[in-house]
Amino acid sequence: MTSYKHLREFLDRLESAGELKHIDEPVSPHLDISKYTDAESKRPGGGKGLLFTNVRKSAFPVATNIFGSDRRICMALGVDHLDDLARRVREYIEFNPPAGFRDAIGALPMALDLARFPPRSFKGKPPCQQVVWKGGEVDLSILPVLHCWPKDAGPFITLPLVITRSLVTGRRNVGMYRLQVFDRNTTGMHWHIHKDGSHYYNEYAKAGKRMPVAVAIGADPATVYSATAPMPRGIDEMMLAGFIRKKPVRMAKCLTVDLEVPAEAEFVLEGYVDPGELRREGPFGDHTGYYSLADDYPVFHVTALTHRKNPVYSATLVGRPPMEDCYLAKATERLFLPMCYLAKATERLFLPMLQTVFPEIKDYWFPWEGVFHNIVVVALEKEYPGHAQKIMSGLWGQGQMSFCKAIAVVDAEIAPSDPAAVLRQLALRFDLSSDITVTKGVLDVLDHSSPVANFGNKIGIDLTARFPGEPPRDRQPPSMAPPSDPYLAGVIKNKIPGAVGYRRLMAEADPAANRVLAVAVEKRSDRGGRYFADVLLYLGELSAFNIFILYDAEIDLHDDSLILWKLFNNTDPGRDLMMRNGRLVVDACKKGPADGHEREWPDELTFDVSD
């Protein structure tokens, strides 16, 4: 197992493995680096990591996409496969106290291993403080901070390790919260209401005290990953980093605030946040593929900027998956099963942890198109009537799983990560009248489809086989054979004003299968989703279909990933599912006043914008 002392060691390893591409031509942090990174991350397998060696107006090179593939995220965490790390987690979870001397001797290796996890103090002058700027010397403009997307409010530090400490318990938290650079010594502090950093901030605000904050940029990959992991409150992320590395993270004391930072970090920002001081932050091109909207957030005042000699600035670009943050979340999925390569790491690494609470869960999967908080597919070892619904309720009450908007439950023999197998269950088993559970609860702050922020409707879909004692499904197969395409095209064109295209989805030969029709429409102020639902469910010519999905006219209905992304992100289960007589219309279009949606609808991310 390979572990890394600092970022440079990891970059050298990527270089020797042919996983790092040098960009030596002059590039600007304003959009240029983002365009390169976006194009590279969309290559098969995630492309290569990038090192920009000639950054305009900066003395420092920039590294991006270094976690952005299955191979690189495994290299970063020192494993051949993410499940290897998950197995280590399971060993510690299932460890039983020794019953006697012989057992105690056998347990010594694990006990010694545990002693390697806690962080340790760095002896001597730490590398992260080889160059020091304090007070009026601080100038954040020396950093090559990326302006990621055209409509971003400014440059954003996108891969920061934000270090805070509870005023009540004294426990440390290391989280990853974007920082919009306002000027030479202030940034925004974008911690969401459900994050530990925000919880600690509230402690300081209640006490009327200034909150010390430190930010590390560029560390060894295990430490960077640990800052993204959804650890329980009060558990030090540096312990997780030590667990992954199998050796402790060395920490150094800050110069102007009473906090510690990873001693081998490339850059460190020290400073404070004053309770009650807010500034408008955003918009920002986010991992949902949309701009998150501007809002007021605390202000981070930088009192010191320190860095290594010849440091490398580390950044990530987020947007519509798959991108680099997806792979980090994939790792967490395996660790605990309770952002895209970052997200996939999280998905896999957290599997054993979640199984301690729900041992009946065999596996789960977060499709990238759901941007890791909009849908999860769960494979269940079903044991009793209502078990699927119990799992839905349990997950919605479990940590960050509570932000998940949709949960689909399948039987244990179905691989959740096999879309074809899951869709086949949806086609052949899904009963509109009995397999849907709609409830309300907390939503991720980035969910834009709910009528209100942070709270809204959730949906559970039971695709498991009926258990003895459960009422049977009462599926009503379509009453007529599906029409020919020429006939269907004529109906769409001539009998549905505003409809501009269609596509059959999940076409199954089984006559009892659900039949799904995607319809592209042009909405107007007097023609919202309910108008189209009424027309589609009224037309006898379309009675061969029992599920319709509405998409905006410009959507390519033959792009499977695109239509799933729109379905998962643009739908509120309480407002946008319209059912009548056992048939369903789902509105996956943009929403506006005609749909009863008064909130601002965010723009989709693209580099193709006019000046």
Q: Where are the alpha helices (DSSP H) in 462-520?
A: 485-495
> What integer pLDDT is reported at residue 335 of this predicted model?
39
> What integer pLDDT is reported at residue 349 of this predicted model?
63
User: Which residue carries 């800050």 as its tokens?
Assistant: 254
**Would you say residue 458 lies in a domain?**
yes
Does one domain contain both 97 and 179? yes
Sheet containing strand 583-587, edge to edge, reads 499-505, 516-521, 547-552, 583-587, 577-580
Query: 398 pLDDT band (50/70/90 cuts)?
Result: confident
Last residue of a domain, one of 396, 429, 462: 462
Indicate whether 300 pLDDT > 80. yes
> What integer pLDDT is reported at residue 105 of this predicted model?
46
Query: 101 pLDDT band (50/70/90 cuts)?
Result: very low
CA distance 536 to 584: 10
CA distance 222 to 331: 11
> What integer pLDDT is reported at residue 297 of this predicted model?
93
Does one domain contain both 498 and 454? no
Does one domain contain both 498 and 443? no
Least-confidence region, from 319-323, 474-478, 511-515: 319-323
Indicate whether 585 pLDDT > 90. yes
Q: What angle do CA 417, 420, 422 make, to 5 degrees?
A: 65
Q: What angle do CA 29, 35, 41 make, to 5 degrees?
A: 120
Higher pLDDT, 88 or 341: 88
* C-alpha dist (Å) from residue 464 to 358, 412, 495, 505: 17, 9, 38, 21
Does one domain contain both 225 and 80? yes
**Would you say residue 607 lies in a domain?**
no
Indicate whether 333 pLDDT > 60. no
Indicate whether 577 pLDDT > 80. yes
Does one domain contain both 103 and 195? yes
Sheet containing strand 436-442, edge to edge, reads 361-365, 375-380, 406-411, 455-462, 436-442
pLDDT tens, residue by residue, 241-284 = 898 888 899 999 999 999 999 999 999 999 999 998 999 999 99
Query: 517 pLDDT band (50/70/90 cuts)?
Result: very high
pLDDT tens, residue by residue, 471-485 = 999 877 677 788 888
**Catalytic residue at 286?**
yes
> What integer pLDDT is reported at residue 94 of this predicted model?
52
4 within 8 A of 10, measured Cβ to Cβ: yes
DSSP 603: P
Torsion of CA 122, 228, 113, 352, to 10 degrees: 170
What is the number of helices (H) and of strands (E) in the chain?
A: 16, 28
Does one domain contain both 195 and 260? yes
**Would you say residue 606 lies in a domain?**
no
Last residue of a domain, one of 462, 496, 511: 462
* Catalytically annotated residue among 38, 286, 363, 447: 286
pLDDT tens, residue by residue, 181-208 = 999 999 999 987 667 788 899 999 999 9
59 within 8 A of 50, measured Cβ to Cβ: no
Does one domain contain both 246 and 364? no
CA distance 2 to 134: 36
Does residue 445 sit in helix, strand or coil?
coil
Q: Which residues contact 457 (CB under 8 A, 6 or more apart)?
A: 405, 438, 439, 440, 450, 572, 573, 574, 575
Nearest to 327 by CA among 306, 347, 303: 347
The secondary structure of 215-242, three-state, reads: EEECCCHHHHHHHHCCCCCCCCHHHHHH
Q: What is the pTM of this model?
A: 0.81
Segment 601-608 mean pLDDT: 89
Amino acid in the structure at residue 488: L
Indicate whether 413 pLDDT > 90. yes
375 within 8 A of 392, measured Cβ to Cβ: no
**Would you say residue 374 lies in a domain?**
yes
Higher pLDDT, 107 or 479: 479
Nearest to 177 by CA among 158, 164, 194: 158
* C-alpha dist (Å) from residue 509 to 418, 427, 482, 514: 20, 10, 11, 10
Does one domain contain both 132 and 200? yes
Indicate whether 113 pLDDT > 70. no
> What integer pLDDT is reported at residue 33 of this predicted model?
97
pLDDT tens, residue by residue, 536-570 = 999 999 999 999 999 999 999 999 888 988 998 99
Indicate whether 107 pLDDT > 70. no
Helix%, strand%, coil% for the chain, nearest 5: 30, 25, 45
pLDDT tens, residue by residue, 361-380 = 998 888 877 666 678 899 99
Question: Considering its fold, how many domains does the chain have in total?
Answer: 3
Higher pLDDT, 442 or 305: 305
CA distance 320 to 609: 17
pLDDT tens, residue by residue, 29-56 = 999 999 999 999 888 888 999 999 999 9
Does one domain contain both 65 and 190? yes
DSSP 44: G
Indicate whether 332 pLDDT > 70. no
* CATH (domain of 498): 3.40.1670.10
Does one domain contain both 267 and 207? yes
**Would you say residue 404 lies in a domain?**
yes
Does one domain contain both 182 and 68? yes
Does one domain contain both 491 and 390? no
Our measurement of the distance from residue 566's CA atom to the centroid of its chain's CA atoms, rounded to an integer in Å, reads: 16
* CATH (domain of 144): 2.30.110.10
**Would you say residue 522 lies in a domain?**
yes
User: What size, in residues, is the chain?
Assistant: 611
**Would you say residue 600 lies in a domain?**
no
Last residue of a domain, one of 431, 447, 462: 462
Largest CA distance in the chain: 83
Mean confidence (pLDDT) of the chain:
87
**Would you say residue 371 lies in a domain?**
yes
Segment 17-26 mean pLDDT: 97
Which structural domain, as residue segments, surrounds residue 438? 358-462
